[in-house]
Amino acid sequence: MAPKIDSEVDVLIVGAGPAGLMLATWLSQLQISTRIIDKRSTKIMAGQADGFQCRTLEILDSFGIDRVWKESNHMLEVCFWNPDENGVIRRTARAPDTPKGLSRFTESVLHQGRMERFFLDHLKETGDRIRVERPVVPSLLQVEESEIKNQAAYPVTLKLQHLTDEEATPNQGNNIPNGLFRSNLTADDTDDLIRKSSGKEGTEETIRAKYLVGCDGAHSWTRKQLGFKMEGEHTEIIWGVLDVVPITDFPDIRVRCLVHSASAGSLMVIPREKRVVRLYIQLKEVGAGGGAVDRSKVTPEQILKAAQKIIAPYKLDYEQCDWFTAYQIAQRVSDGFEKYDRIYLAGDAVHTHSPKAGQGQNVSIQDSYNLGWKIGMVARGQASPEILKTYTTERQQIARDLIAFDQKFSKLFSGRPAKDVSDETGINLKEFQNVFHQGAVFAAGLSVDYGPNILVVKEDEGKDGSVRCRPELANKLKIGMRLPSHKIINQSDALAIELQKLLPSDGRFRLIVFPGDISKPEIYSRYEKLGAYLPSKDSVISLYTPQDSPKDSVIEVLTVHSAKRTEIELQSLPEAFHPLDKSKGWDYWKVYADDESYHEGHGQVYENFGIDRDEGCTVVVRPDGYVAATLAVDDTRSLEAYFGRFMIKL
Ligand code: FAD
């Protein structure tokens, strides 16, 4: 007998860690009916992930979440410490932790619980439409396969069990505090985190959803229901983690350090917020003899002892320990990211690896950042479900790259330094340093390069009615990668602003028109032609924007010209580039100049993107800020061909 259905929802998210909360944030922004459940009574309070990479900070900023950047410790320098000829550790190199010019942000450190707090606050501040329901677990999953193609249907059925607090409290084993224990670092959470009783404890409900997304971590229940397996390896190397306020004479305790001792193992120093330092410490004694390690036997004292040996002759101790853990490196990727075109997995549910390169939380957030707007557009009936296939193709490759990077990095970091060139089992410390530097762009999340697909056009497809992509028109801008940021000047008020600030995550595609020097008549006439097309009844704007919605609500058009700002008058430009809304007046925030600002220099965006000032181009940018295509300024046919691939006409 078919179960009685209690309610329906467009998207159900299982798991309210970083991946689940990022997805909820997107879907809240796009006003998609969504529920998010978590089996724990509260968010995490301490420990777990702490590193925020540049791309994650850009993404958070695009939602207006700037508290991580404000509250975190900005990690600016990395030092390498290696044994000298007498086996005593010495600083052998210093470098910027984030390579210069990569992003507006640099790597920053703050504990995961704060991030989860910020997501929860943001959900509340932006409409309070989605609240995390705790403690709730799914207990049954069924899919009505005959309904999958029907976009109006709710083919995914889930039974949910509302737990009591007792049921939701995990057995911690022998006194190992982890992220579920309250931290004394954060003061402002407590009241908010006291779970308001839902009155549903001990009850069950059955709901139907259009989409289900499993963000339920490394032991994902959702993944198991789909029959996917994690493929990869478990290494025998055991690491301890201490979050402490250190008392030490080690001179570099407030910069990131990678310390290789001669024979006592390796250690990483991560300077954190509020005087805390995280230490990743290779544990030699624990787990010797192979086989699975009983982590409950590891104590903070034991981890400290290992750290003291590595960092000797410097002294290291602490009074305050906020959190500790021990882990064994497992590098694995799920053999599936999606099933039935309706159920998706994100974050640790599909990839696990060592935490030392600070990737876990970042890649998890970036997974659901990739997925959220796609589900949103399909659920709103704006785009074909075909775009959802790109989630797997785009993110599975990232997960594989991540594991390959982690394997290389972990092996070199866990290895014993070679004594000399003939020592083949030892690792070459120069090579380790090189891998670290080469991996910096990857680790920052800025080497992501999505391959060609329905949303990304990398070259001229050469057929009638296809997209005439012209990568050479912006030859330093990489199609498939996120649009980098440079300062530009607002035409109307001379304000210098970062280009990325014009790309908030609000679900809109953007056409950034770089017309060139529009003070020259022949260049202006090309731009004018585009300006005449945009409001026409068959333009991509008219075809895909609902009648009663603002003209820029689906595809926004921005201009960055390269004329002298003072030689251009906004009002003389076609209205399509600075539209009039009777209740709001003219839009003064759509036309910019690549010019010298009064106080903040010249962003040189044409130069940095490799755009010719006579030729110009139009860059199509996806709602997640990745470059989708580069076209000739007035190539309206290619615009139609591009959006015609996946957008649904009204
Ligand atoms: P998670 O953060 O694991 O979130 C999953 C959520 O789903 C949890 O809230 C969980 O309660 C919920 N859930 C699970 N199963 C169910 C279910 N059946 N029903 C309902 N809800 C469910 N990364 C680093 O970068 N640096 C570190 O030092 C670091 N240390 C870590 C230490 C530990 C002990 C752990 C567990 C992880 C650590 N990580 C670290 C990894 C990092 O925390 C993760 O990569 C990141 O949290 C992944 O985010 P996620 O949302 O995919 O999964």
The low-confidence residues of the chain, meaning pLDDT below 50, are: 172-195, 290, 292
Report the pLDDT value the prediction gives residue 52, as an integer from 0 to 100. 94
Is 506 a residue of the active site?
no
Report the pLDDT value the prediction gives residue 433, as an integer from 0 to 100. 82
Q: Ligand 1 pocket, 361 CB below 6 A?
A: yes
- Active-site choice (55, 61, 252, 280): 280
Instruction: Give the alpha-carbon dihedral of 452, 457, 458, 462, to 10 degrees.
Output: 110
CA angle 65, 68, 74 (to 5 degrees): 140
Report the pLDDT value the prediction gives residue 221, as an integer from 0 to 100. 97
Q: Ligand 1 pocket, 214 CB below 6 A?
A: no
Atom of ligand 1 at shortest distance to CA of 218? 3
Q: Do 448 and 395 form a contact (C-beta atoms < 8 A)?
A: no
Q: Do 485 and 500 form a contact (C-beta atoms < 8 A)?
A: yes
Report the pLDDT value the prediction gives residue 173, as an integer from 0 to 100. 43
Structure confidence by residue, pLDDT tens digits, 55-87: 999 999 999 999 999 999 999 999 999 999 999
Q: Are strands 7-14 and 34-37 parallel, antiparallel or unpaired?
A: parallel
Give domain 471-644's CATH number out of 3.40.50.1370, 3.40.50.720, 3.40.50.2020, 3.40.30.20.
3.40.30.20
Q: Ligand 1 pocket, 113 CB below 6 A?
A: no
Q: Ligand 1 pocket, 137 CB below 6 A?
A: yes
Q: Do domains 7-71+107-230+331-389 and 471-644 have the same CATH topology?
A: no
508: which residues sit within 8 A by CB, 6+ positions away? 552, 553, 554, 555, 556, 623
Is 280 a residue of the active site?
yes
Query: Best substitution site from 115, 219, 325, 348 to test ligand 1's pocket, by max atoms within 8 Å of Cβ?
Result: 348
The CA 56 to ligand 1 mean position distance, Å, reads 17
- Active-site choice (35, 256, 272, 278): 272
Q: Ligand 1 pocket, 271 CB below 6 A?
A: no
Q: What is the largest CA-CA distance in the chain?
A: 78
Report the pLDDT value the prediction gives residue 175, as an integer from 0 to 100. 46
Give the residue extent of every domain in the chain: 7-71+107-230+331-389, 471-644
Structure confidence by residue, pLDDT tens digits, 454-484: 999 999 887 878 999 999 999 999 999 999 9
Residue 453 φ/ψ, nearest 5 degrees: -160, -165
CATH class of 7-71+107-230+331-389: alpha beta
Q: Beta strands of 103-166 (E only): which ranges?
A: 108-109, 132-133, 136-143, 156-162
Query: Best substitution site from 48, 68, 137, 365 to test ligand 1's pocket, by max atoms within 8 Å of Cβ?
Result: 48
> Could you write out the DSSP letters of every residue in 30-51?
TT--EEEE-SSSS---S-S--E
> Could you write out the DSSP letters of every residue in 509-530?
EEEEEE---TTSHHHHHHHHHH
Q: Do 255 and 77 form a contact (C-beta atoms < 8 A)?
A: yes
Q: Are strands 591-593 and 487-490 parallel, antiparallel or unpaired?
A: antiparallel
